[in-house]
Amino acid sequence: MSAAAPLGVAFAAHWLPFDATLRLVARADALGYAQVLVDGDAVLLPRDRAVFDPTALVAASLQASRRARIAAIHFAHFWNPVLLARSLATLQTLGGGRLVALFGVGAGRATSAIGLPEPAASERVARLDELLGQVRALLAGETVTDAGRFASLTSAAVTPPPQPVPIVVSAASPRALAVVRRHADAWDANVPPVRARLEPLRAALGRELPTWLWVFARPGAAQADALRDYRRHAPWFRDLPDAEARDAILWGEPAGCRDRLEALRRELRIALPILDLSGLAEPEAERALVMLAPASVP
pLDDT tens by residue, 217-232? 999 999 999 999 999 9
- For the 8-291 domain, the top CATH level (class) is alpha beta
Distance CA 297, CA 262 (A): 9
Q: Please state, in angstroms and rounded to a whole number, the distance separating the CA atoms of residues 97 and 90.
A: 10
The strand pairing partners of 171, in sequence order, are 189
Q: At what angle do helices 54-64 and 81-94 cross, to 10 degrees?
A: 10
Considering the chain, what percentage of its residues have pLDDT values greater than 90?
86
Q: In terms of Cα–Cα distance, which of 117, 163, 124, 118 is closest to 140?
A: 163
Residue 120 pLDDT exceeds 70:
yes
CA distance 57 to 70: 10
**DSSP sequence for 198-245:** HHHHHHHH-S---EEEEEEEEETS-HHHHHHHHHHH-GGGTTS-HHHH
Q: Taking residues 120-133, report their average pLDDT.
A: 96
- Chain-wide mean pLDDT for the chain? 93
Backbone torsions φ then ψ of 228, nearest 5 degrees: -60, -45
Residues 168-183 have pLDDT tens digits of 999 999 999 999 999 9
Confidence category of residue 295, pLDDT binned at 50, 70, 90: low
> Which residues are within 8 A (CB) of 118 and not within 5 positions of it... i.e. 6 or more apart?
108, 109, 110, 111, 112
Geometric angle at alpha carbon 179, from 178 and 184, rounded to 5°: 115
